[in-house]
């Protein structure tokens, strides 16, 4: 292992006690330049040692440490000898293991609170490491009913709020810290600084988790895995497969062949954009399969959304398989699997919280295709993939692209799918996106698109009266796409979109804006 590789191994394991913010903690640590991984709360001290941690973070969680069924940690983790930061439940369990006591507080504390940091005497000195550069009085985000009520002989309180006298702790002899509030959320304005203090002042991190370093290591790893073998990568037009392909190309150049299936359900110019980026700019061996007739013929008369998904999924595998067979001695298949997929599939660690995967993944390939998988992004979160895409020189429109479902426009063309209806939808969708981009709203919205409804409404045009289809506009803000809120797009932007659609898409005379959050409404209409 070379020096960079060793530094890249500088890891902070985060024990997940079921906090809704646990992925956010990992992202914050990584944003601060240190690699973080999520691990089970009951991981043993020995298993942890194998990860060569430079420190540990114990997350929050919904349980109470004094309940018999609550998740416990191996007490020996406190003897590994690396610094530990407990957050909320993580602080409470640290206190409980090391001689303190936790009980329900007189009052719960949810939302914003004022934190006072000790500045005098021994406690003030002990607060220096964690609170360096943070005002003595500052806002924090709280979410707890229990609190540490007895410090035991070894803990010192470093900070308090009006209802929580022990809102931050430090052990007298071990590098064990605890905070009752959530430094990982943006509502704790100096939370990022506190995490940095823990990483750099306490754990002495070098801050080597940078995308430039990542590329170097990942390229090396890919070369080691595939040797002189050929790798196939399916491109979808989405961010993950695009970044995976660009990274593989950097690593193995001509050994990579990409397959892009045009299923006739793509957005306006999508095929052209993919081809011009990958074939013309990167000079990747890209094979586009025009299978639009095959897909659209098979979808004729199909109106049930799940049936549409099944038809598309099945055909995609057939088409991909046939094309892949034509690539001589390909042994590897690259996929843009991300870290949250690894966690959710249970390969990363077993979650304590109930875990409902809402994705209906169409466009995936079955294991029995017989390839060995190459998954160069399986360590990364989505925002890191985007940063990586930028480092690799992918164009901005690809790196910041909103997600697009595997079944494409099929699930946005509500009801029957015909070439004419798809064309109409594509045109309206293009206008909506153009206006969102020119109003500077593309980056602040998470997923924006048009859907074509299977109803007609009355239209008065000139002196005539007609019945024409309705376009629904949908735009949502979301971080994980499991929940979402409709985007508050300014009325004048909506007015421009509506005007343009009814004027430029002759067949449409009515436009509506979807103001449903998820839940209960899903992001897609089908
Ligand atoms: P919903 O509509 O369930 O969507 O709120 C959540 C996210 O998943 C995408 N989506 C799909 N992605 N195949 C996919 O690959 C599908 O069948 C599918 N259906 C929905 C959706 O666009 C959103 O990003």
DSSP 8-state secondary structure symbol assigned to residue 108? E
Q: Which helix (H) or strand (E) holds 252?
A: helix 239-252
Contact yes or no for 117/69 (Cβ under 8 A)? no
Point out the least confidently predicted range of 42-46, 346-350, 479-483, 512-516: 346-350
Distance, in Å, from the CA atom of 75 to the CA atom of 56, rounded to the nearest integer, reads 13
182 classed as catalytic: yes
Taken in order 19, 21, 24, 29, the sign of the CA dihedral is negative
Q: Whose CA is nearest to atom 24 of ligand 1?
A: 403
Q: What are the structural domain ranges in the chain?
A: 10-202, 211-399, 412-513
Q: Is residue 204 left, alpha or beta, with left meaning phi > 0 and alpha meaning psi from -120 to 50?
A: left
Active-site position among 35, 144, 171, 182: 182
Domain 412-513 has CATH 3.40.50.2020: no
pLDDT digits (tens, 9 = 90+) for 204-217: 999 999 998 899 99
To test the pocket of ligand 1, the residue of 267, 308, 359 to mutate (highest count of ligand atoms within 8 Å of its CB) is: 359
DSSP string, 201-218: IIS-------HHHHHHHH
Residue 347: pLDDT above 50?
Answer: yes
| 179 Cα–ligand 1 center, Å | 37
Q: Which residue, judged by its Cα, is nearest atom 9 of ligand 1?
A: 405
211-399 and 412-513 share one fold? no
Beta bridge partners of 165: none
Supply the pTM of this predicted model.
0.84
- Please state the separation of Cα 516 from the chain's center in Å: 22
Average pLDDT of span 231-246: 94
Region class of 345: left (phi > 0), else alpha (psi between -120 and 50), else beta: alpha
Assigned architecture for domain 211-399 = 3-Layer(aba) Sandwich (3.40)
Cβ atoms 143, 88 nearer than 8 A: yes
Cα 160 to ligand 1 centre (Å): 44
Tell me, yes or no, if 359 is annotated catalytic.
Answer: no
Can 184 be counted among the known catalytic residues?
Answer: yes
Beta bridge partner(s), residue 372: 332
Percent of the chain scored above 70 by pLDDT?
A: 94
Does the pLDDT at position 344 exceed 80? no
What's the pLDDT at 97?
97
When the pLDDT of each residue in the chain is averaged and rounded to a whole number, the result is 92
CB atoms within 10 A of CB 225: 17
Residue with tokens 């990542």: 214
pLDDT digits (tens, 9 = 90+) for 10-60: 999 999 999 988 989 999 999 999 999 999 999 999 999 999 999 999 999
Q: Identify the CATH class of 10-202.
A: alpha beta
Q: Is 360 in the pocket of ligand 1 (CB under 6 A)?
A: yes
- Burial environment of residue 105 by CB neighbours within 10 A (0 to 12, 13 to 18, 19 or more): middle
Atom of ligand 1 nearest to the CA of 363: 15
Q: What percent of the chain has pLDDT over 90?
A: 83
**Residue among 73, 88, 164, 413 flagged as catalytic:** 88
pLDDT at position 364 is 61
The 10s digit of each residue's pLDDT in 127-179 is 999 999 999 999 999 999 899 999 999 999 999 999 999 999 999 999 999 99
At 483, the pLDDT band (50, 70, 90 cuts) reads: confident
SS3 320: helix
């Amino acid at each position: 292992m070379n020096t960079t590789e060793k530094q890249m191994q500088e890891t902070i394991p985060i024990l997940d006690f079921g906090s809704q913010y646990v992925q956010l903690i990992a992202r914050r640590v990584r944003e601060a330049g240190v690699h973080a991984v999520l691990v089970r709360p009951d991981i043993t001290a020995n298993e942890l040692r194998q990860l060569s941690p430079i420190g540990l973070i114990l997350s929050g969680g919904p349980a109470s440490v004094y309940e018999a069924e609550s998740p416990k940690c191996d007490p020996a983790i406190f003897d590994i000898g690396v610094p530990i930061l407990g957050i909320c439940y993580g602080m409470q369990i640290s206190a409980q293991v090391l001689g303190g006591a936790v009980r329900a507080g007189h009052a719960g504390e949810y939302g914003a609170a004022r934190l006072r940091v000790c500045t005098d005497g021994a406690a003030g000195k002990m607060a220096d490491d964690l609170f360096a550069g943070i005002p003595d009085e500052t806002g924090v985000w709280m979410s707890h009913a229990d609190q540490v009520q007895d410090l035991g002989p070894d803990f010192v309180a470093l900070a308090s709020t009006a209802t929580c006298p022990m809102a931050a702790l430090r052990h007298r002899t071990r590098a064990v810290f605890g905070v009752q509030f959530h430094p990982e959320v943006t509502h704790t304005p100096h939370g990022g600084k506190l995490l940095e203090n823990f990483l750099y002042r306490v754990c002495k991190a070098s801050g080597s988790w940078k995308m430039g370093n990542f590329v170097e290591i990942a390229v090396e790893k890919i070369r080691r895995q595939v040797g002189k073998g050929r790798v196939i990568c399916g491109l979808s037009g989405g961010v993950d497969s695009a970044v995976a392909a660009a990274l593989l190309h950097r690593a193995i150049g001509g050994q990579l062949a990409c397959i892009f299936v045009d299923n006739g359900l793509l957005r306006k110019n999508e095929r052209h954009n993919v081809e011009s980026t990958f074939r013309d700019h990167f000079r990747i061996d890209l094979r586009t399969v025009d299978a639009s007739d095959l897909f659209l013929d098979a979808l004729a008369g199909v109106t049930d959304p799940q049936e549409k998904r099944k038809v598309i999924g099945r055909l995609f595998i057939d088409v991909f398989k046939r094309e892949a067979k034509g690539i001589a001695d390909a042994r590897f298949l690259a996929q843009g699997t991300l870290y949250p997929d690894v966690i959710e599939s249970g390969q990363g660690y077993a979650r304590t919280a109930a875990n409902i995967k809402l994705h209906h993944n169409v466009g995936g390939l079955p294991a029995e295709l017989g390839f060995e998988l190459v998954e160069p992004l399986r360590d990364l979160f989505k925002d890191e993939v985007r940063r990586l895409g930028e480092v690799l020189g992918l164009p901005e429109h690809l790196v910041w692209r909103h997600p697009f479902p595997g079944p494409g426009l099929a699930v946005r063309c509500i009801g029957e799918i015909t070439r004419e209806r798809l064309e109409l939808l594509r045109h309206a969708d293009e206008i909506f996106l153009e206006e969102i981009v020119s109003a500077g709203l593309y980056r602040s919205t998470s997923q924006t698109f048009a859907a074509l409804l299977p109803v007609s409404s009355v239209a008065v045009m000139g002196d005539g009266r007609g019945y024409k289809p309705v376009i629904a506009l949908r735009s949502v803000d979301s971080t994980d796409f499991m929940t979402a809120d409709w985007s508050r797009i300014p009325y004048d932007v909506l007015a421009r979109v509506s005007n343009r659609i009814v004027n430029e898409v002759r067949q449409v005379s009515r436009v509506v804006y979807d103001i449903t959050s998820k839940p209960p409404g899903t992001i897609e209409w089908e």
